[in-house]
Structure 1
Amino acid sequence: MYFADTTTIGVPYAKDPKVVFHQNRYLMYYSVPGVRFQNWSIGIAASTDLTHWKKVGELKPAADYEKNGLCAAGAIIKDGKVHLFYQTYGNGKKDAICHAVSDDGLAFTRNTTNPIFSPKGDWTCGRAIDAEVVQFNNKYFLYFATRDTSYKIQMQGVASTPLNTSFNQNEWTQLTDYSILKPELPWEKNCIEAAACIKRGKYLYMFYAGGYNNEPQQIGLARSTDGVKWTRVFTEPFLKNGEKGSWNESESGHPDIFTDTNGRTYLFYQGNNDKGRTWFISKREVVWKKDKPVLL
């Protein structure tokens, strides 16, 4: 699978994949830029086999708070509807997480309390991007990337809301006043972002992107029993960037872990070999052996 959108800026470009199964088809949400790489929006593609995708829609900036752009969607299915969690873009430290809901996965109604979340405290600059919402331990956890007050270190934070939530702004509780996962390993450099979570047994696993785009960004893995305290499963990347000359030479980044209706799991991710002039989305199947994932 190699998917990219050529309808926006004339070259193949698709980043930040998020896949759900809804109304008998797969939907993938991804980020695409506008003219001169401004006013980003969220493209929507559909598939019946997880390999061949066709663009079927786009969520473009509309509300005043997203006038500079929106991107990097997380998504869940709740009560038969698609709930999208996306970030505003182009506002620096003021970028925050927003929420919208849809019956068909294409036409979305924005939450009237948007933006629904941004972190507080002296450990963060106040920015929140790359939302991932997952049901775990009888609540919904929201994982987000933020930066320190110097705006140099990208790291993970967490908030939660009850199962009967409407995902409104006043329903979220920030769970820590510190980062739950920040870069420590050499290959992570100054960035951990783009959390993608899956529950397996007693653990919640988090696939994450280490390193900023094209440094190269590569995918790591951590796990937790409470959703707050995390331990790395591997010290090396779970999925590295490709060898010289390969399609993902510049990076393998921004993961999404998707469980199909038959229980099989797939790791979606972005990559390129030209330092970001183009971007493609691909996938690898993941199998689980002794509580640890293995790439096929």
Structure 2
Amino acid sequence: MMHYADTSRGRHYSKDPAVVKYAGRYWMYYSIPPHRDGREPDGWAIGIAASDDLKMWERVGEMAAEQAYEANGFCAPGAIVLDGAIHLFYQTYGNGPKDAICHAVSHDGIHFERNRTNPIFSPTGDWNNGRAIDADVIVHEDKLFLYFATRDPLGEIQMQGVATASLDSGFGAGAWTQRCEESILRPTLPWEGQCIEAAAMCKRDGKLLMFYAGAYNNCPQQIGCAISEDGIRFERLFTEPLLPNGEPGSWNSSESGHPFLFEDEDQRTYLFYQGNNDNGKTWYLSFVEIGWEDNGFIPFIKR
């Protein structure tokens, strides 16, 4: 089993994976924390690893802060390949309700050009507090659907929203139309606690599936799944987690969280996620392969 952790910050620590295949290699983007000793860089950033087989990963670089809006940190990337380039949608960090989604593009997997209009999106409406984090995107009905997590006006409940942009828009600020006037998925099941975050999108025969993290980190966070015909109205497929945290003593006993769904060129699908067994002192990334039943719409974990 793959267990990857970046050690560039003085501990084994990688969160929030996003994986694409580009130019013949697999690329993984993930969150890395500030240095423990306070030396530069002192904010959250995005690490970059590459692989030839999805199992053995090598750190090949990182995105360091370049702009004022990244000064307090940035993290939680979502990645997609469009028109021969890697598009990264990530969040600012450390700004509370003012955290928002940003966009950058790479043609080599390592160096990213920021969208000149960043940040590109934050939600409106009296149902949320204006924050947008944990972006994931997917092409649906000739648009790019942007899924994000936000919080209620009191900043207590984490929940999901969605916006769309034209595929030829450049994805900058002003290109996005918010498609919901309330949360499209908010925590209601006991295991979800006060949080649904980290939407991980997949398309199956025109329907959209959202793998999501329920509960805040180490509560434990676990992974569920919901389905939608239009990408806006979702129904849960299960009342219990699809991927729970591990048994006591296992590497992910504290949580299995923050998923990302990667479909390879052979149509095999892999659910990447984060886990740890020490309540967040370390974080590792791993994956399981997803199988499909009931006409290809019900996911299960391949063993």
1:110 is aligned to 2:140 = no
Partner of 2:23: 23
Partner of 1:14: 14
Letter in 1 for 2:264: D
Partner of 2:3: 2
Match for 1:131 among 131, 135, 141? 135
User: Secondary structure of 2:174's match?
Assistant: helix
Report the RMSD for the aligned CA atoms in angstroms.
0.8
1:226 is aligned to 2:226 = no
Partner of 2:262: 258
* Distance of 1:76 and 1:244 partners within structure 2: 35
Partner of 2:156: 152
Identity of aligned residues (%): 60
Q: Give the Å deviation of 1:35.
A: 1.9
Q: Give the Å deviation of 1:177.
A: 1.4
Cα deviation, 1:210-245, whole Å, max 9, x if unaligned, reads 000000000000010100000000010000000001
Q: Number of aligned residue pairs: give it.
A: 295
Cα deviation, 1:166-223, whole Å, max 9, x if unaligned, reads 0011110001111000000000000000000000113100000000000000000001
1:237 is aligned to 2:238 = no
Using the size of structure 1 for normalisation, the TM-score is 0.98
Q: Give the Å deviation of 1:22.
A: 0.4
* Distance of 2:109 and 2:34 partners within structure 1: 22
User: Secondary structure of 1:169's match?
Assistant: coil
Letter in 1 for 2:226: A
Cα deviation, 1:122-152, whole Å, max 9, x if unaligned, reads 0010000000011012211000000000100
Q: How does 1:92-103 map to 2 (within 5 A)?
A: 92-103=96-107
What 5-or-longer segments of structure 1 have no aligned partner?
none
* Distance of 2:205 and 2:163 partners within structure 1: 22
User: Secondary structure of 1:236's match?
Assistant: coil
Match for 1:292 among 289, 293, 298? 298
1:120 is aligned to 2:121 = no
User: Secondary structure of 2:224's match?
Assistant: strand
Q: Give the Å deviation of 1:252.
A: 0.1
Letter in 1 for 2:110: L
* Distance of 2:238 and 2:125 partners within structure 1: 30
User: Secondary structure of 1:171's match?
Assistant: coil
**Residue range with higher mean Cα deviation, 242-251 or 159-168:** 159-168
**Residue range with higher mean Cα deviation, 131-140 or 210-219:** 131-140
Partner of 1:78: 82
What 5-or-longer segments of structure 2 have no aligned partner?
none
Partner of 1:64: 68
Partner of 2:219: 215
* Distance of 2:198 and 2:141 partners within structure 1: 21
1:269 is aligned to 2:273 = yes
